[in-house]
Every structure is written in structure tokens, then in C-alpha cells.
Structure 1
Amino acid sequence: MTDKKKWNHLKSEIKFLKGVGEHRAKLLNKLGIFTINDLMEFFPRDYINRQASTKISSLRYNENFSFVGVIVSIEKRNLSRGKTQLNVVVSDGDDYLFLTWFRFGNWFVKQFETGKQIWVSGFVTEFKSNPQIIHPEIEVLGEDEKQSFWHSRNVLPVYSLTEGISMNVMRNLIMKAFELYSKEIEETLPEYIIKKFGFEPRYSSIQKMHFTQHPQEVSKLKVRYAFEELFYTQLMLARSRKHHNQKKNGHNFVLKKTYTSILKDSLSFDLTSAQKRVIREIVTDMNSERQMNRLLQGDVGSGKTIVTVFAMLLACENGYQAVIMVPTEILAEQHYYSINALLQNQPDIKIGLLKGGVSKAKKEMKEKIRQGDINIIIGTHALIQKDVIFHKAGLIVIDEQHRFGVEQRAELSRKNKNPDLLYLSATPIPRSLALTVYGDLEVSIIDEMPPGRKPIKTLWHNSEKSKIVYEKVLEQLKTGSQIYIVCPLIEESEKIDLLDAESLFQMLSTKVYSDYNVALLHGRMKTKEKDEIMENFKDGKIDVLVSTTVIEVGIDVPNATVMIIQHAERFGLSQLHQLRGRVGRGAEKSYCYLIVYPPISADGRERLNIMVETNDGFKIAEKDLEIRGPGDFFGTAQSGLPIMKHANLVRDQELLQQARILAQEIIEQDFSLKSEKNQILAETYFDTFLEKEKLFDY
């Protein structure tokens, strides 16, 4: 094994690499590069072949296209309202391709010179019978390369960048890292796994990823790194699951059919078969001698609340308290009122609401919880405060669980002796992803909607039709319905040319909807102010709510029938689906209008079309994962699990299964990874994953 001093070079912070420093380190951090090893594993996302013979005549409209050509003309045109347009024409010697930008700085224009070689990549459209790419990705070749290592290379790596880090800088930093530390690259997979899958050793494969002159070999090399990510994650989950299943520390609840039967008999509707199946799965867990550790997934409106209440009552009829933690106070209040309504004929069940802040009422509630006078406790993160002591918590439910850090979830679950744990998610997660992210949990899915729920009619329009859409939904306002309008930004930005919520609010409240009560909601407002606006909207005092994405998860407003999403091309599919789910909660037909602004990428069109085609959250989640890859699928890095840099959980499902099976076999035979053949596994795993594993030990 390499000595400790040498290994520390790869683990040292990126700022210590020659040519980086404090300022560049912060920029690289934005790309997920924190150590020198991270930089080495920051693989190219594409390659430029200077000698490539791709011809413009081979391109297809409405598809992505990449090629190397020569700049033949540059034109900067002034448009109305002080805006400008940049047109650059490139040629392969026979045909021409038109490149157009509507947003650019002077520094950007200066890099273009006629006669220079340029690499171009983007989505091809047609303009006046000519092929055109709007806002393409480009690199003017030969810039800042003279006398450098890269100048003589026919194939150049293309990296994802952030503002302040140019392609030339990134390539040179990569080169410097390998010049200084390539001899310290260590193997992270044992020999028997490398042979089993035919992988190339890490030392040579990681260098080929950056410096290859044969891009066709890269796809095979990438498989190794995708497998490695999946495998070590599965190894951690296999250890956590085995450890959890060995502990017989559950409460062994008995289904006494007292409170639970009263609830069942009082319902004015029939449970769906999916709800019945999931209730049986939860009851079986709670009846066992092992602590329940289950994720309950269900699309917006699928009926997770009633299933959760059945589980809570099972704990209550065995003399235990049931606790539910939610991310916002307004959601806590919504749960409090809806659960009270469901249990109004069961006065023996005392329900308590614990929110943030300091008050006499809060102090009294904490005392009632400690004494056991409250059976069902509903609250926010205030529940994890040290002075909140449960009398006898038997079930802990965490709603919208991805909104909490794994440390917060673990902290709540440790407050009492081994309570059963139920996690709720309204963000449907494809099974392939659930296997990876929640491999230590059992997973229940409510995959059926209650009968009578009307699908939301979804349409997408170009931005020039915004006025028509606003006028069209006036008809909805006249009938007494309410409207959500979502913008990606709070206020106007010099850096990003987007419609902002404040400007739109001013325009709508003074012109289009001046006869109606229009309100503005955004994340910079204080919690009390936000809650007051949402309460007024719920009570019908506000007709039109202009908001940022803070309403993505929120309260039920059955009277809201229209959702308009500005700059819909900038949102992910799952987020669009969550926003759309704010409407369609009442008996009236509901509509969702997606307003888009050019340029629209091929992926953007695909997202918009799938929203129009289906209301099924699971289909949408699967497609979202396929389009943008796993990344940080939940919109948060708090899950306690690594963000996948190399694996794609749609493309790599077969690889995932192989990794999962192998990880389970290894942990069954060698839980502590003490055998000689697993020495490299032990070194890599305990160095990287042991702290994360502890978070799953409830």
C-alpha cells in the first residue's frame, strides 16, 4: 500500500494543487471538486476530434449535432428594446451552419475571428431553409494552447465548467494533477472483481478518461466507474440492512381492532386496493419483533394520509404515542386539521400540534407530550429539540422525508427506544432508484389513485402567447376559481434574462387582473408572512398567487384550478409535476399551462411533451431520471448517500443488479470485510463510507 504521506496528496484540498488557490478552489467546489482525487475523477463529458470528418450535410433537424469547422463571418445586430443578436456562420468547406446568440458579453464576441477553427455542439433547428443552432456550445480551437501539452493533441477533452473556470484552465489543472500525483493513484477494487467484470485497472483507466486519443474506448472505461459507485453504495446498504435485521428490537404491536376498526367503519369512501395492500404491509411490519423501517411512496393525492393514520392508531391502541414530523408549519397545521377530522368520533385520541417559537402554550404542550397525555403528536423540526421528551413513542412518521437531512431523521428516531419508522414521499421515486437510495428500507407504493380524481389538462405555449393564456384563465377567475402563477426568480437579475416574480406581480396586479386580489409569495419572506399569505389563499381571500417554487409542497386549496408556470423549460420534470399537483384537488376541472422561452433544448421539449402526455408521477419520475441522470435526484444533498457522478440509474439498471447481488454475497460471507481478498474493499469502504453508515444505525 502507498505510504500515508503520498495518499494524503490525493486527499488534500484542491486549493493546494499548484495553480488553484483559495479563489479557484471555491469555483471548483461548485462542480463538486473538493480534493485532488475529485479533480482526477472529474471526467470529460465529451471529446473534440480536430481531425473529425463530420459534415454539415449529415446533420438532422431537431437533433443534437457536433462538428469542427471554420468561422467564415461574424455579425452583431441591434434589436428593439436595446437588445442585441450575435450571428456567426461556420463552414466545413462545402456547407454553412448558422450560430445565433441573444445573450452574450463583449468578452464572448472577441474570441471569434474569421478563419479560426471552431468546435460547435447543440440542437439544430431550421431558419429560412438554413440549419441553425441557437446558443450552441462552442470552443474556438488554438486559443491559449500554443506551446502547451494540448496543442499537439488531435483529441481534446470537454469538461463541464462554471463561471470563472475556462476550458483551458480546467485542462491545465487536470494535466498538473496527473503530472504531480499520478503515481499515487491506488486501486479501489480487488483483483477478483476486476477479473470478474473485465475492468481495466484504475491507474490506467483514469488517465485514459482524460487523455485518450481514441474516444470510442471511453464507454467501456466508464462502466468501471459506474459499477464502483453503485457497488460501494450497495455494500453500505447491505451492511445496514443486515445489521438492522439482526436486531430484534421491535414493539411487536397487536392489531386489537379498537381505534383502527372505528376509523375503518367511519370512512365515507372505500379504500383503494393499493391502500389496503400497503396497510397490510405496514401492519405486518408493526406486528413483528423487528423495528419497522419502511418508505411509503405515493403520488400527490393518492391517499397516503389515511394509510398513515391507520398505522398511528395501531400504535395508539397498544398504549404508545405516534409522532409525525413535517417540513413546514403550514403542513403541520394541515395534518393537524385533517387528522382531527378523520378522528372526530374518537375523543379518546388526543392530538397535539408542536410548532417552532417560544410560548406558554408550547411549553404546556411539551409537558403533555412528556406525561403521555397526547397520543398523536404533529410537528416540524421543533420535535428534535432536546427538551421535547416523548412519554412512549412507538411510531415515528417523517413526511416529505427528503426535505430533512439524514442527521435530523436519525435524531428524531433515536429519541425513544426503537420506535417503528415510516417515511413518506410524495415525490415518486422509480423502483430502480429506490433500490439504490433506500436499499436499507422496505418500500411500499400506492400506485393507484382514488376513483373520480380528474386528470389535470396540461398545455405548453411559447412565451409570446403569455398574454393569451392570462386572458384565457380570466374565465376561471370569473367563476370564482383561484390561480397559481410560478416564476423561477424573485427579482430581476442582470446575469440571467428571466421573467421574475416581482415584475410579473406588478404587471398582473395593476393591469391584467386589476379587478382581483393578487398576492406575491417568495422564499425571502419570513415564515409568519408566508404562512399568512397561504392561509389567505386557502380561505379564498386571494384570487391570484404569484410565487416562486416555495409552493412546490404546500397546503390543499381545492378551489385552485389553474397553474401557470413561467420559464417551464428551466424546471426538471419532477418539479413541474409537483407544482402541477397544487391544483386538481377539488371537483372542478383543472389546468396547467407551461410557458416556455427560447432556446429550448431537445431535453426541454421532451420534458414538456411528457407533462402534456401523462399525469402519472411514476412515469414522470422514470422519464426525469432518464433525461437528466441520477445526479441529486431529490434536489438535496442531505440524503447521507453519495451523489452519483458516473452511474445512470436508468441506463445502468443491469449493472445496479449485478452490484447489488455481489455486495449482498460479500456481506453475507464477510460482514466485517476482514478476509485477505477483501483488503482493498475494507480500506476503501471504511475510509469513505463508515461515517455515512453510522447515520443508518437507528
Structure 2
Amino acid sequence: MARPAPVLAAAGDAPLTTLAGVGPAVAEKLAARGLLSLQDLWLHLPRQYEDRTRITPIAMLQPGAAAQVEGVVEAVERGFRYRPMLRVALDDGSRGTLVLRFFHFRSQQVNQFRVGARVRAYGTPRPGQHGLEIVHPSYRVLGAGEDGGLGDALDPVYPAVEGIGPATLRRLVGQALDRLPGEEALELLPRGLLAGTPTLPSLREALLTLHRPPRDADVAALLAGTHPAQRRLALEEMLAHQLSLRRQRIALQSHVAPVLDDDAGLLARLRRALPFALTGAQERVFEEIRADLRKGVPMLRLVQGDVGSGKTVVAAMAALMAIGGGRQAALMAPTELLAEQHLANLRGWLEPLGLRVAWLAGKVSGRARSAVMADAASGAAQLVVGTHALMQEGVVFRDLALAIVDEQHRFGVHQRLALRDKGAAEGIAPHQLVMTATPIPRTLAMAAYADLDVSAIDELPPGRTPVQTVVLGAGRRPDLIERIRAACAEGRQAYWVCTIIDESDEVVAQAAQTTWEQLTAALPGLRVGLVHGRMKAADKQATMLAFKAGELDLLVATTVIEVGVDVPNASLMIIENAERLGLSQLHQLRGRVGRGSQASSCVLLYQPPLSQMARERLDTMRSTGDGFVIAEKDLELRGPGELLGTRQTGLVGFRIADLARDADLLPGVQQIAEALVREAPDAADRVVDRWIGGAARYAGA
């Protein structure tokens, strides 16, 4: 394969101070928006377009559809009702009158609008008191005999840069485009590589089309992000992220990792002791993990599985591979509640095998903390379970061979790296196993986790019953209280989750407190508990344990119970203000019931009226219990940034690509990435530099 021509560094990398009109002050304002070089301006794409290539007769205007008109001033009215106002009536002879309305204006503007003057204006008409009107249009008063001319291309409207006016920004982008290199110098992808993708223009053609779309351009496609020019840029941006992740993977695999095997026969002993048989999916995923651990390169595997699919026992078996080889493992979870749930399960399974499972969290202090740290450092603790406390300075392992992170998307990059580094020394790195109960859509996994091997536990253990989900308006609250009374009379338990979203945790706690008081009064024969995030950890834990032990009938809680609670006897879940939560969180909460063999229900209470997105979310919850289907819908509705969390820097930074919209490009992106890395590594590096620069990638964690 012929290597592409080198990019003209003198062009794309030239600072913006080389443009006319960009002095230190303007350059500083542009830099604050991340615009430093000509290439940055090339990729600063318009957010919308204004069509000034034609004149629309006033009689043909449609409310809400932006248009350009030209007419003669019929009347001018300057008044002050509640605030200063200027109204200018235009007539173009098409049997239509349009009013231009201004609330902010100067005296010289009023003088411009003399009766009989010809005015060309652009804006979005809307119904007014006397027909259609445009509020604060852009306009020009034409001189006698001036035809004004019409543009050959749509006018771009760029994302705002503070302190720089739209016209100035448009002029600077135009200057930058005038210095765009020729096609061969700009193109980094050999044409042969694009053969398997949809017909797309060259990069140069795509940039010019997006900044200066011709008058016959498909505006609807441009605004939807589906124009071939946008897809060409989206493909290269996704390719840059894919290559960056692969670079991380290659760097990780340059390390040596311990070869792990269960030399002590612990796995067979655990299997004999377990009160249940593993599902086929659990067996398949564990075999994938075991194959990784037997290699001399660091494993980096993501295990995703729906709520209750049995990830913890698979993690325990992976830990035994390290422990059986005389080494240590650590498991980190984002909350004490979830970490303690893992601790209880792991101690129940592993301590009968004669193993020491230690516990390290923020609340472990004094002598107890010192003892745990000493056991980790000496190797007496073969498995250490904990929260962020595991990553703190001073926590040392004798020989950490496997780092397990649960609900990995809740941790930032540096936190995951900090745990991995506890076992890294002189080119040796521990294996990493990351888990999530939030199923990740295939498209997101392909793009966001290109440096991980992904396994899915896509089968629930036998005996789990599907949860029936119903959606009710808040007016049905009294009926639900009676339903709780009946369920608890039959010996079952129920959750009532308060989900009011506010900047302050205190507001959510107050809502839960009020609900607890109301339900305690309405259900005098029942034992009602309360859990929220502002309670002391010990009080919260005591209440949870009481509920699990059956000492409480009804638990009123905030979304703190989203993960880490396993109460098989709980068969009814009521989620208040369900319209305020995302699909994945609703699915996680629903997973708290249906964990036993009895029929379970989840009631989603909403406060009308519902937005279109909220209605789609609730309909999805009602129609399916498949976490992977729900994850795909969540990606479609919310986008990748919210699904991964703001700390997952990278996907949030996509400027052009949209993983839900552009998913069909991903297979081609992967093929191009493989070919570039193999046959044109210099071009691969330049693609990454163009789109990402030297930013550290989160996915190496």
C-alpha cells in the first residue's frame, strides 16, 4: 500500500495569529474555546445554516421556517408599552405583509427605516398580532438601484466564541479555508482503504462542503448530521479514537504479566461447595478469563452482565486463579454498600477454603486498618475487598496479580490506574478484570472499549422470574398503598424509591423522609424503614441488613439502593417520579426485585405531563426486561457521553461523530484501523494527532 502524502504541517499547524485580524487579544479568546491552529478552525463546523441564496415572497412564508425576504417599508411605529419597541411593516407586492420587531435598537436604526426604503431581512417568522413577524432579524437597507445580489452558498452559523462576533468568526474561518492544502497533502487515508465504506468525499471536499454548502445542498441532511460530508469527517474522527485505544492496548501488552493457574485446586473445591450450578454463559465467560490469565501478557477484559446474572461468582473464580498460584487479588467497588455485598458473598465462598478475605473501606480505621494493611503487605490476605480506600497511598500488596473493578464506569481513569499500579513493577503489570451490570450497547463497546476484550453473561440463573412492569400516573398512589398492604400481608417485602432530582442531596433525603412519614401513617401495621444518602454509613447499613433479614416490611429509599442489595423476598418495587431517571438507572432499580422465585412487579409512577423522551423511556421499560435492548435504547436517547459518565473523557469529546447515528460506519472503521496500524503506522499516528492530539486516553486504565 502506498503511503499517503505527508500532511502539510505548515498549513494545518500554523497558529491563528497568522490570520489577518488575529492579535494577542483575539487569539486568547479563540484559545479559550480550544481554537489554536488553522486546523482547529477547519474542524470548527457550523451548527446550522442560513439560506440567503434566494428571496421568499412574504405571502409564501411559513411560521417557524427561516427565510430571506425583501420588501418596501410601509409603516414604522416606535412605542413604549412595557419596554421600548420598534415595529417595521414590509410589503413586497405578494399580497402579504411582514412586521419586523425590535426591542433593542438605536436612533440611527429608526432613521434607516424610512417609509419607501427597500429592506432585505433574514429570520424566522412567527404569528404576531397583525400577521407574521420576525423578532430581531438580520437585515440590510438597500440603496437606490442596488440589487443586493444573492449568495452562491448557504451561510454557516458557527458555535459561539465568547468575545468574538459571528461575522468576525465567519471571516476568520473563511481565511483559514483559503489556506486549506490540496487534496493529496491533506488526505491521510489511502483511497483503497475507503473502498469498503459508503461512497464518501475526500476530506478536502467534505470540509469545503460543510463550511460553504452550495445553494442546492441537502439542508435537512446537514442539520441531521447525515450528509456524506459529515459522515466522512465522522469516520475519520471515530478512526482516530479507535487508533488511540489500540495504541493503549499495544502499550499495555508490551508489559509482562504473571502467568496464573489454579495450582492449588481451589476451583474444584469451590465448585463442589457452591449451592448452585453455573449457567452456560458463566462457564463461557470464565473460560475466556482463564485463557487470558494463562498468558504472559496483562488481561484487560470487560465482563458485562444484566442485574443478577452472576458476575460476582465469576470474579471469585478469577481471583482463585491468582490465589491458587500463590499471589493476591483485589476487588474494588464504588460504594461501601456494594463492596460489603461482595465481601459477604466472597467470604461465604472462599473462607471455608481456608482463605483470608480482608476488608478495607473508609470507615475501617485505627488498629483494624493497620492490621488489614499489614496482611495485604505480607500476603496473609489473599483477597482484599474494598472501595476507593484500596487505592490510597500506603496500601501495599505483596504480590497483586489480579485487579477487579466492579461498576467500572463509576470510577475515573486515575482511580483505576491507581489500583492497577499497586501490582505494577519494572515492566510487570497485573491482570485487570472490569465488570458492569449496566449492559453496554454493541456500538458503544466497539468504539469506547476497543482496547478491552468484552465478555457478556447474557443468561440469567434458572428460577429467576421476569419482573412485570406497569406505568401509572401519580394519581394512582392510594391504590399502590393498598397493594403494598396486601403484598406484605402475604409475607412479602416492598421498596418505595424516591427519585426527585435536585442539585442538593438534602432535597432527595427530605422527599424520602416525607414519604416515609406518610407511608408509616397510612400503613400502621407494617414495619417501614428509611434509607438515604445523607444517613451515616452505619445507620444505612443497619437498616439495609434489617430489611434483608425480614425485620422490615417496606423500605423507603433513594437511588442509593441502585446497586448492591440482594433481598430475594422483595417482590414489589415502586419508583416515584420515574420520568426523571434514565433507562439504565430504572433498569438497575428494577433489578432489586425478581431475585427470588416468586412473581415480582415494578410500578413506575410518573408526574404528568410526560415529555416525548420520558414517554419513550417508560414505554421501553414496560415492553422489555432485556438489559441489552434497554442499553441500545438508552444510547439512542441519551448519547454515549451520559451513558459512560462525564469522567470518561474521550467519547464526550466527539465533535462530529455520533455513535448512535453513525454506528453503521464502525465495522469499516475497525477494518481501516487494522490496516493502517499494519501497513501505514505513520499515517495512523497523524490521524490520532489531527483529531485527539496528545491527550491522555482514559481507556488505557
Does TM-score exceed 0.5, indicating one fold?
yes
1:419-471 CA deviation, whole Å, 9 max, x = no partner? 11111111111222111111111111111111110011101122332333333
Structure 1 unmatched runs, 5+: 26-32, 59-64, 70-92, 94-110, 119-140
Q: Does the 8 A contact of 2:488 with 2:494 survive in 1? A: yes
2:129 to 90, 114, 118: 114
Distance verdict in 2 for CA 1:48–1:682, change over 3 Å: closer
Q: TM-score, normalised by structure 2?
A: 0.74
1:244 shift after superposition: 3.3
Of 169, 190, 195, the match for 1:177: 169
SS at match of 1:631: helix
Q: What is the aligned partner in structure 1 of residue 189 from structure 2?
A: 193
Shift of the 294–52 alpha-carbon distance from structure 1 to 2, 3 Å rule, reads farther
Tell me which amino acid in the other structure corresponds to 1:183.
Q
Which whole-Å CA distance do the structure 1 matches of 2:606 and 2:56 have between them?
35
Offset, 1:661: 1.3
Deviation at residue 217 of structure 1 after TM alignment = 5.3
Give 5+ residue unaligned stretches, structure 2. 1-9, 68-94, 96-125, 143-149, 195-199
Query: One-letter code of the match for 2:623?
Result: E
Task: Quote the residue 1:231 is aligned against.
Answer: 239
Which residue number corresponds to residue 346 of structure 2?
Answer: 339
Q: Deviation at 1:245?
A: 3.7
Instruction: Name the SS of the counterpart of 2:572 in structure 1.
Output: strand
Residues 523-538 of structure 1: matches in 2 within 5 Å? 523-525=533-535, 527-538=537-548
> How is 1:476-491 mapped onto 2 (pairs within 5 angstroms)?
476-480=487-491, 481-489=493-501
Aligned pairs for 1:286-301 within 5 A: 286-301=293-308
Shift of 1:321: 0.6
Q: What's the counterpart of residue 461 of structure 2?
A: 450
Please tell me whether the aligned partners of residues 304 and 438 of structure 2 are also in contact (alpha carbons under 8 angstroms). yes
The 3-state SS of whatever aligns with 2:282 is helix
1:283 CA drift (Å): 0.8
Distance in 2 separating the partners of 1:21 and 1:512: 60
1:255, 1:679 → 2: CA distance? 41
Matched, 1:549 2:542: no
Normalising by structure 1, we get a TM-score of 0.74
2:573 aligns with 563
Question: Does the 8 Å CA contact 1:41/1:206 hold for their aligned counterparts?
Answer: no
In the TM superposition, residue 289 of structure 1 has moved relative to its aligned partner by 1.7
Question: Tell me, what secondary structure is at the counterpart of 2:642?
Answer: coil
CA distance in 2, matches of 1:606, 1:627: 9
2:15 pairs with one of 1, 6, 23 = 6
- 2:15 corresponds to which letter in structure 1? K
Paired with 2:141 and 2:305, the residues of 1 have a C-alpha distance of 55
> What is the aligned partner in structure 2 of residue 604 from structure 1?
614
Q: Shift of the alpha carbon at 1:414? A: 1.4
Structure 1 463/682 Cα, relative in aligned 2: closer, same or farther at 3 Å? Answer: closer
- 8 Å CA contact 2:360–2:387 kept in 1: the answer is yes
Q: CA deviation at 1:296?
A: 0.8
Q: Which residue of 1 aligns with 2:147?
A: none
Q: Distance in 1 between matches of 2:55 and 2:634?
A: 35
Contact 1:253–1:314 (CA under 8 A) maintained in structure 2: yes
Correspondent of 1:423 among 410, 415, 434? 434
The amino acid across from 1:316 in the alignment is: I
The answer as to 2:637 corresponding to 1:634 is no
Give the letter for the 2:233 counterpart.
Y
Q: Distance in 2 between matches of 1:501 and 1:246?
A: 52
Q: Percent identity?
A: 34
CA deviation digits over 1:644-673, x for unaligned, max 9?
A: 3433334323311111211221112344x2
CA distance in 2, matches of 1:38, 1:326: 42
Q: Distance in 2 between matches of 1:300 and 1:204?
A: 48
For the residue of structure 2 that corresponds to 1:386, the secondary structure is coil
Rg larger in structure = 2
Q: Name the CA shift for 1:446/1:489 in 2 (closer, same or farther; >3 Å).
A: same
Distance 2:137 2:564 in 1: 51
Q: 1:267 & 1:522 partners in 2: Cα distance?
A: 34
User: Any idea what SS the aligned residue of 2:641 has?
Assistant: coil
Does the CA-based 8 Å contact 1:630-1:647 persist in structure 2? no
* Equivalent-residue separation in structure 1 for 2:51 and 2:604 (angstroms): 36
Shift of 1:288: 1.2
Aligned to 1:128: none
Distance 1:200 1:290, change over 3 A: closer
Alpha-carbon distance, 1:240 to partner:
2.1
**In 2: Cα distance, 1:48 partner to 1:519 partner:** 61
Aligned to 1:373: 380
Q: For the Cα contact (< 8 Å) 1:40–1:177, is it kept in 2?
A: no
Q: 1:408 Cα shift?
A: 0.9
Of the candidates 208, 217, 220, which is equivalent to residue 204 of structure 1? 208
**Letter aligned with residue 201 of structure 2:** G
Aligned residue in 2 for 1:97? none
Tell me the CA shift for residue 387 of structure 1.
Answer: 0.4
Q: Distance in 1 between matches of 2:385 and 2:41?
A: 42
Which whole-Å CA distance do the structure 1 matches of 2:174 and 2:30 have between them? 20
For 1:624 and 1:35, how far apart are their aligned partners in 2?
32
Cα 1:19–1:388 change in 2 (3 A) is closer
State the distance in 1 between where 2:17 and 2:413 align. 28
SS across alignment from 1:477 = helix
Q: Match of 1:350, as an amino acid?
A: R
> Superposition pairs for residues 237-386 of structure 1, below 5 Å?
237-247=245-255, 249-256=256-263, 258-347=265-354, 349-357=355-363, 358-386=365-393
Secondary structure of 2:297's aligned partner: coil
Given residue 258 of structure 2, which amino acid in structure 1 is its aligned partner?
Answer: H
SS in 1 for 2:330: strand
Q: How many residues align?
A: 598
Q: Deviations over 1:365-392 (max 9, x none)?
A: 1011101111111011111112000011
Query: 1:216: Cα distance to partner?
Result: 3.9
Within the alignment, does 1:142 sit opposite 2:135 as a pair? yes
Q: Which residue is equivalent to 1:391?
A: 398
CA distance in 1, matches of 2:186, 2:302: 33
**Counterpart AA for 2:566:** D
Between the aligned partners of 1:423 and 1:21, the Cα distance in structure 2 is 40
RMSD over aligned Cα, in angstroms? 4.4
Query: Which amino acid is 2:170 matched to?
Result: F
Q: Which residue of 1 aligns with 2:104?
A: none
Structure 1 partner of 2:586: 576
Point out the more displaced range, 617-626 or 480-489.
480-489
Q: Distance in 1 between matches of 2:678 and 2:30?
A: 46
Identify if the C-alpha distance between structure 1 residues 256 and 190 changes in structure 2 by more than 3 Å, giving closer, same or farther. farther
1:44 aligns with 2:67: no
Corresponding letter in the other structure for 1:237? L
Relative to 1, partners in 2 of residues 1:298 and 1:492: Cα closer, same or farther, differing over 3 Å? closer
Contact 1:209–1:221 (Cα < 8 Å) also in 2 = no
Q: What letter matches 2:375 in structure 1?
A: K
Change (3 A) 1:491 1:432: closer
What is the identity, as a one-letter code, of the residue corresponding to 1:566? Answer: E
Q: CA distance change for structure 1 residues 342 and 51 in 2, over 3 Å: closer, same or farther?
A: farther
Match of 2:696 among 688, 692, 697: 692
Equivalent residue, structure 1, for 2:219:
215
Range 598-607 or range 424-433, more displaced: 598-607
8 Å Cα contact 2:49-2:154 kept in structure 1: no
Partner of 1:590: 600
Q: Which residue of structure 1 lines up, in the alignment, with residue 115 of structure 2?
A: none
Shift of 1:561: 2.0
Q: Is the 8 A contact 2:302 2:434 kept in 1?
A: yes
Supply the distance in 2 between the matched residues of 1:376 and 1:643 (Cα, whole angstroms). 37
Partner Cα distance (1:156, 1:488) in 2: 43
SS at match of 1:193: coil
